[in-house]
Amino acid sequence: MRKKGKKSLKERIKIIIPLLKEEYPDAEPRLKFSNPLECLISGILAAQCTDEKVNEVTYFLFAKYRTARDYANADLDELMKEIYSTGTFRKKAERIKECCDVIDKQYGGKVPNDMDSLVSLPGVGRKTANMVRADAFGFPGIIVDTHVIRLSERIGLSDKKMADKIEFDLREIVPENEWTIFSHLMAFHGSRTCVARKPKCEICCMNEFCDYF
């Protein structure tokens, strides 16, 4: 944490969240899915890939593969071709097949909803696990994607570099009932205003509370 102290950061969060809610009343999950399995697959594909590209790929993928067993039985070369445009396609295809095989055999084809079980699945880290728990199952979760990492540093909410450490910093200062919407608000702000290159600081709704500005 920064030297400002946890109390001042909590006060900053109380101001930031309402500002972001007013700015992005449409904030919601950026990945499109209709069930926990689709949410999990989207999360795996989203690594080092834009949400828009993932949605483009899963539009066809989800129509073909309906169950965990479908993915586990998929031809590896064919699956790699289908997800090629998301990058690191071999690794992702292998992880999807391994992950879904475990889900089918150990969990009866149902995606588990507890953190320990999720992060034990091949290819699933805390970011994806939090996303599945929050967006597919409705549990509070802080989803630390590339936008949350960048904004947390710029705004002054965490001085950590690793996603897992940033998550735990944010868990200390963001009210638990706001964890999920906070994650989506930060993602929207990061994609629309506080972009990686040339952030639009002059029109930012919270520039006066931002260390970067």
Residues counted in the chain:
213
68 within 8 A of 37, measured Cβ to Cβ:
yes
CA–CA distance, 68 with 37 (Å, rounded to integer): 7
Q: Is 145 a catalytic residue?
A: yes
Say if CB 32 and CB 42 are below 8 A apart: yes
Helix residue ranges per DSSP H, 32-177: 36-45, 51-64, 68-72, 76-82, 89-106, 115-119, 126-131, 146-155, 163-173
- Residue 6: count of CB within 10 angstroms of its CB: 12
| CA terminus-to-terminus distance, the chain | 19
Out of 127, 135, 160, 169, the active site residue is 127
The single residue of 51, 135, 145, 169 carrying the catalytic annotation is 145
Alpha-carbon distance of 106 to 109, in angstroms, equals 8
Catalytic annotation, residues: 127, 145
